Amino acid sequence: MNGNRGTILIAEDSMTQAEQLRHVLEKNGYTAAVARNGREALEKVRQVRPVLIISDIIMPELDGFSLCSGIKKQDDTRDIPVMLLTSLAESHDVLKGLQCGADSFLTKPYDEPYLLSRIRHLLYRPSPSGEPPPANAVELHFQGERYVIRSDRKQILDLLLSVYEAAVRRTGELSEARRNLEALNDELETKVDVRTAQLMAEIEERKQAERELTRYRRQLEELVEKRTEELRETVARLEQSNRDLEQFAYVASHDLQEPLRMVASYMQLLQRRYSERLDEKAETYINYAVDGAARMQKLIEGLLNYSRLSRGAEFTPVNTNAVFEGALANLKRVVQESGGEVNADPLPTVLGDETQLLQLFQNLMANALKYRKPGIPPRVQVSAHREGAEWVFSVRDNGIGIEPQHKERIFQIFQRLHTLEEYPGTGIGLASCKKIVERHHGRMWVEAEPGAGSTFLFSLPAKGADGDIDGEIPGSFN
C-alpha cells in the first residue's frame, strides 16, 4: 500500500460515480474528500486544502466551469490543479475549459491507469512560480459566442494535450469499430450467400413436402383420435385417483382422532388427579398440551369435513332463506357475545345440497362476525341478485378487511392471515366454502379493502334440470 500522497477533492453530484472514484484514489494512496456540488466544493477547498480537484461539469447550484473559475480567481487556491470530467460531446467545452483556467480534461468513461497517469502529470509537474496569471487575455469568438482566455501557456498546452489525447483514444476506438464493422459486413455477405443457397434448396424440398402433406394429415388424424382416447382414459384414472386420495384423507383423519382423544384425556386426567403435586411450570406445560390437542382435534374434524365435500347429497330445490335462518340459529350465541347484527334481503331458491349450503352460509357469516374491528359491533348483510343464468350471493361486513395481495391466497386450504392469538381458526373454512361452491358449478371471490370491511361473493346456477327455480321469499332477519 502506498503512503498518503495528499488529499484530492471530488466534486460529483452522482454518489455512485463519486464513490467509485474515491475507491480508486484511496486504493492508490490518496485521501479523497467528496462534495456533491460546486458550491459545497468551494467551501471544502479551504477545509481540506486538496492537492488536486477532480470535478464533473454538470452539477446543481454551481457547475464545474464556475467552480474552476472561482478557484482560479483566489490567490490562495489558484495554484491547485483542476481536472474536469467531460464526455467532450460539446465543442464549446474545450473553450470553456480554457476560459475558466482548467488544467486538464478527463473524458468519460475512463480507465484507472489513464486516470492515474493524468493525476501524476498534474501533481508532479514543476511547481508554479506563485506569480499571478498574465494580465493579457486572449479574446476568441467561436460559433457566435465570445470567450476570454486568461490561462498561461503551460495550462493551455496541458489542457489541449489532454483533449488531443482523448481524441486519439476516441479515434482508436472508432478505427477498431470500423474494422469490426468491415469484418461483420464480410461475414454477413457470406451468410447471405449461404442462406440464399439454403432457400433454393428449401423451395425444392417444399414441393416434396406438399406431396407428403396429405399422407401426414391422415396420419395426424389417426394420431389425434388415438391420443383423444388415451386422454379420456387418463382423465378417468385421474378422477379415480382423486376419489382414492379423498378417501385416504378421510380414513387417515378419522384414524388420527382416537389416539388424539387418548392423549387429551390422559393429560386432563393427569391435571385433575395430580394438580396438587404439579408446580406452576408443569401446569403450564399440561395446558399447552391440552390446548394443542384441542386445536389438532378441530383441524382433523375440519379436514374430515373438507374430504367429504365431494361426496355430498343429490341436488334438490333449496330455499336459501331457510338456510340463512338455520345458520343464524347456529350462530346465535356468537351474535349475542359480539353485540352484532345480521340481516338478509329476500333470497332465492336454488338447486343444491342443503347441508353443504348451510355450511357455506354459516362459515361466511361466522367469519364476518369473527374478523371484526376492536370495539365496533359487527354488521353483516346477506343478499342475492340475478345475473343472467346465475344467482350472485354476497355476505358483506364492516370488519377489518383484507390486503389486496391476499385475495386469492385466503381460499387455499390451511392458509391463515392472522395468528391464533389474534383470531383462532384452522385455515380450512374458506377453502371448504370454495369447494362447496365449485361442486355446485359456481365461482367464489372477495371484494375488500384494509380497514373497510369485506364482501364475499359466490354464484350458483339459476336454472335446474326443469328450468328456472325462483322461489324467492321476501324477508329479513336479525
Ramachandran region, residue 375 (left: φ > 0; alpha: ψ -120 to 50; beta: rest): left
Is CATH 3.40.50.720 the classification given to domain 312-468?
A: no
Q: What angle, rounded to 10 degrees, do the helices at 280-308 and 153-273 form?
A: 100
Count Cβ neighbours within 10 Å for each residue of 80-91 and write b for 16 or more, e otherwise.
Answer: bbbbbbbeeeee
Looking at residue 144, its pLDDT comes to: 47
Integer Cα distance of 51 and 53 in angstroms:
7
pLDDT, the chain, mean: 78
The DSSP element (H or E) to which 244 belongs, if any, is helix 153-273
Kindly tell me if the per-residue pLDDT of 238 is higher than 60: yes
Looking at residue 117, its pLDDT comes to: 87
- Grid cell listed for 313: 347429497
> pLDDT tens for residues 314-340?
889 999 999 999 999 999 998 888 888
User: How buried is 439 (Cβ within 10 angstroms: 0-12 exposed, 13-18 middle, 19+ buried)?
Assistant: middle
Integer Cα distance of 205 and 375 in angstroms:
80
Integer Cα distance of 379 and 371 in angstroms:
11
Summarize the confidence of residues 335-356 as an average pLDDT: 90
- Sketch the domain layout of the chain as residue ranges: 7-151, 312-468
Range with lowest mean pLDDT among 103-112, 176-185, 242-251, 316-325: 242-251
Looking at residue 225, its pLDDT comes to: 86
Summarize the confidence of residues 265-279 as an average pLDDT: 72
The DSSP element (H or E) to which 104 belongs, if any, is strand 104-107
Looking at residue 256, its pLDDT comes to: 63
Q: What angle, rounded to 10 degrees, do the helices at 320-330 and 354-370 form?
A: 50
- Grid cell listed for 406: 391476499
Q: Which residues contact 85 (CB under 8 A, 6 or more apart)?
A: 12, 54, 55, 56, 57, 64, 106, 107, 108, 110
Summarize the confidence of residues 256-269 as an average pLDDT: 70
Looking at residue 197, its pLDDT comes to: 83
Integer Cα distance of 432 and 456 in angstroms:
14
Which of 401, 403, 344, 399 has its CA nearest to residue 376?
399
Q: Which residues contact 417 (CB under 8 A, 6 or more apart)?
A: 402, 403, 406, 409, 410
Cβ atoms within 10 A of the Cβ of 476, count?
15
Cα distances from 456 to residues 85, 341, 361, in angstroms, run: 62, 17, 11
Kindly tell me if the per-residue pLDDT of 164 is higher than 70: no
What is the DSSP secondary structure assignment for residue 52, as one 8-state letter?
E
Integer Cα distance of 305 and 339 in angstroms:
29
Integer Cα distance of 375 and 359 in angstroms:
28
pLDDT band of residue 218 (cuts 50, 70, 90) is confident
> pLDDT tens for residues 20-63?
999 999 999 999 999 999 999 999 998 999 999 999 988 988 99
Kindly report the CATH class assigned to 7-151. Answer: alpha beta
pLDDT band of residue 140 (cuts 50, 70, 90) is very low
